[in-house]
Amino acid sequence: MIFAANWKLNKTQKQAQEFFSVFLQSNLLTESLKNKNELIFFPQALLSEQISNIFNQFLKKNTSLKKEYLSWGLQNIFYNNQGAFTGENSALTMKEMGGSFSLIGHSERRTLFNETNKDASKKIKAAQDLNLVPILCFGESLELRQSGEYKKFILNQLSQSLDCTDTSKRIILAYEPIWAIGTGKQASDQDITEIGSLIKEQYPKLELLYGGSVKPSNVKSIVSQKNIDGVLVGGASLDHNMFLELISV
């Protein structure tokens, strides 16, 4: 199972240090990694070096744990690695620092920063060119869900975002219905199964995560859904006790 933690614009360096000083000491973490769960953290970009160092030190001390099960990435990358693009994040620099994933097209990027499916496809390509793993976020608004047009919308969002990308390389999809993000209202098991089958029919080789108000109390039923390979967690990943409980499912 994949457990991805999207910290969004939360945690200072001091708070990140406090989180990992408890989180990495826990037997629940060691057990989870031994069970071959894949943990991926998405801190704000400014914490990259700190987190890279913390993970390297931890893995050096715990040689029996596989490096690929504890990793980190950025919440957003730009589709060019360098040049006159003030304020953007370079995937190349992230790679140099030891990051190996990137979230792409998160709904907050789409709604607050006007990112389009075209942008997502360029970013996926940029990540793949560097052998980084993109996690493409997609999902419908409440209006679309209520109008009944959500399946068509989702398939269109995916086909446009995956245009020009190499689906033979690893790409992870994350279904995050906008109405479930940060609202405490997760999609029902039935909603998740429906989207899970729709996606796996179309993209059988791609892994699929669910995100949107995932918490310790609902994670078990979500990850036991057919076609779900893990979860993308926002709020509940900020608290070390909650996230430890969640990854121990």
Catalytic residues: 106, 176
The reply on whether position 161 binds ligand PGA by CB under 6 A is no
Segment 164 to 183, residues that bind ligand PGA, using CB under 6 A: 176, 181-182
Q: Among 117, 213, 225, 227, which residue interacts with ligand PGA (rule: CB under 6 A)?
A: 213
Which amino acid type is present at position 247?
Answer: I
Task: Indicate the residue among 201 and 241 with the shorter CB distance to ligand PGA.
Answer: 241
- In the region spanning residues 1 to 40, those forming contacts with ligand PGA, defined by CB under 6 A, are 6
Number of other residues whose CB lies within 10 A of the CB of residue 187: 24
Helical residues (DSSP H) of 47-188, grouped into ranges: 48-61, 91-97, 107-112, 117-129, 142-147, 150-161
Q: Which of 134, 177, 196, 212 binds ligand PGA (CB under 6 A)?
A: 212
Q: Do you know the residue count of the chain? A: 249
| Residue 232 binds to ligand PGA (criterion: CB under 6 A) | yes
Residue 90 Cα distances to 78, 81, 99, angstroms: 6, 5, 11
Of 56 and 182, nearer to ligand PGA (C-beta) is: 182
Question: CB-wise, 193 or 218, nearer to ligand PGA?
Answer: 218
Q: What is the DSSP string of 168-207?
A: TS--EEEE--GGGTTTS-PPPHHHHHHHHHHHHHH-TTSE
Residue 84 near residue 112, CB atoms below 8 Å: no
CA-to-CA dists, residue 69 to 34, 114, 177, 190, 191, angstroms: 9, 33, 27, 30, 29
> From the CB of 134, what's the least distance to ligand PGA, in Å?
15
Q: At closest approach, how far in Å is the CB of 126 from ligand PGA?
A: 21
- In the complex, minimum distance from the CB of residue 80 to ligand PGA, in angstroms, rounded to a whole number: 25
Among 211, 219, 225, 228, binds ligand PGA (CB under 6 A): 211
> Does residue 235 touch ligand PGA according to CB under 6 A?
yes
Interface residues with ligand PGA (CB under 6 A) are: 6, 176, 181-182, 211-214, 232-236
